[in-house]
Amino acid sequence: MRQTIALSAHVEIDPEVLKDKGILDVILGVDTPYFIDPRLVFLKDKKGIFLNASKKIECYFSDLIRVIKNSEDSPQLQKKAIEMVAAKEPKGLSIGYGNKTDTGPAVPESVARKIVFTIAELIKVGIDDPELVEIMVLFIDGYGPDSISDLVSYILYDDLCKFTQEVCNDLNIETKEYSINNAVYFLPKHPFKQHQIVFVPLDYVSALPLAYDWNSVQDAAAYNDKLRKDFSGIILPVIKEQIKKLTSLSSEEKNKFKETFKKLLKIYKDKKLESYDTDIDERGYYVSKSAIENYANKFSAQQKNISSVDEMKDFVRDVILSFKRHIEDMGNSNLLYHRTKNHAPKKDKPHREDVPQMIFNGIADVHCSYTNIPHARESKLSTGPIDFWFAKARDSKVLVEIKKSTNNLIRGYTRQLSKYEKGELSCYSFYVVLKVKEEKTSKLKLVTNIEELENKYKENIKNGIKTPEVIIIDGLVYDSPSK
């Protein structure tokens, strides 16, 4: 069985129909870095089920500020404030960074304590805006975009369930009865987990919440050129440092701090933003999802029984070569680049590595479903994250690292993978490079990055050194079908 599938494929509804209904077509089985932005909930026109959505968020954050205000001498209220920040992570949305389960808190308790303490200090100098909860990401480590999104989802979870149920009724999508927050909802069942699917409204989705996107916050300060220019280098560091010692500031310093912080809040409130545009698909996730499903629909293979280490190596190599053919021979190199409104690829602007990694993960998932081979993405090691591993037994683990040609290829090849192999006790590894930019030699450098990597690989093989296998994929977009 596949471990990932597009929502549209699972519920057997055309992706365009889901889009027309205002639903994000997520990939089930892996969280995709989309986020629900509270600012979008406030800015978008409200109707139907979400009529009072922004009011619910405002009331929740206002209540939190009120509880913190009165909690200085009350351990019970301090506990309540922490619990309000560390609310339970909502199930079934399949968005975020996927670095935690969907059964724990949206924010770790230790981080929630820091947030509550910091807000309490700001309240003492006269700053008590509800938006404090949102922009704490600028000051608290561990409080990220998925935390904000999870908290907003928690507040609006009943509305999201009602929205999902209504759409399922309209589209005749198969559902199951679930008891949630003392109410009964009929929702689709997740194909890989024992819980419901909850639809995410496209109107509320961004690539990063505004409060977390520092560039957007800077751009929003256009009315004050000096503030915009100095925001990251001067203003923000000063605010961060002053927050740590607010109680020791003089009255004059506190007033000045309050004035500066209020400007920051105004920038945040006044910033105009739009929902994630799935046509331009700035992050490349939406079009990648469609490509993976197209591949899955066309794929056919017989069940394989892989038992030896050599068979595991060959299997993973076949997956990589399928990925290579998908990019080079099936016209999918354009997926690796940002695109215009007319869907034309911007050849000079490749996506980040998470886009080809997502495509590879989808292709690998299809192949693994026919062989019952476990695989995973981004295993965290003390030496850093490895992109993928495949294994049927402890002594047959094979690693795959995927890099763009614009990166420091030699450093990644000579340092990273050797450490990964040692850390993961792997038997073999592949180093896959996607060529996304034409390279030229110069007087200072007689070979390109890719040629230097290939020469190093051949040298290691010649000298009998255990070395990751290098596979180069041509990801360039050409004007004609011939290469």
For 310-351, the pLDDT digits (tens) are 899 999 999 999 999 999 998 899 999 999 888 889 999 999
Start-end of H helices in 203-245: 214-219, 225-230, 236-244
Q: Within 10 A of 347 (CB to CB), how many other CB atoms are there?
A: 18
Q: Is the pLDDT of residue 385 over 60?
A: no
Q: What's the CA gap between 397 and 432, in Å, rounded? A: 17
Q: What's the CA gap between 223 and 200, in Å, rounded? A: 34
Name which residue leads in pLDDT, 251 or 301.
Answer: 251
Q: Is the pLDDT of residue 222 over 60?
A: no
How much of the chain, in percent, has pLDDT values that exceed 90? 42
Q: What's the CA gap between 355 and 378, in Å, rounded? A: 14
pTM: 0.83
Joined together, the tokens standing for residue 312 give 């595991």
- The pLDDT score that the predictor gives to residue 228 is 44
For 39-55, the pLDDT digits (tens) are 899 887 677 899 999 99
Taking residues 428-432, report their average pLDDT: 91
At a CB cut-off of 8 Å and minimum separation 6, what does 459 contact?
none
If you ran DSSP here, which 8-state letter would residue 201 be given?
B
For 98-107, the pLDDT digits (tens) are 544 455 577 8
AA identity, residue 453 = L
For 198-211, the pLDDT digits (tens) are 999 999 998 876 55
Taking residues 245-274, report their average pLDDT: 82
| DSSP notation for 44-102 | S---GGGTTHHHHHHHHHHHHHHHHHT-TT-HHHHHHHHHHHTPBPPSS--BS---S-S
At a CB cut-off of 8 Å and minimum separation 6, what does 121 contact?
243, 246, 247
Q: Is the pLDDT of residue 165 over 90?
A: yes
pLDDT band at 482 (very low <50, low <70, confident <90, very high): low
How distant, in Å, are the alpha carbons of 91, 203, 346 from that of 31? 11, 19, 26
Q: Is the pLDDT of residue 163 over 90?
A: yes
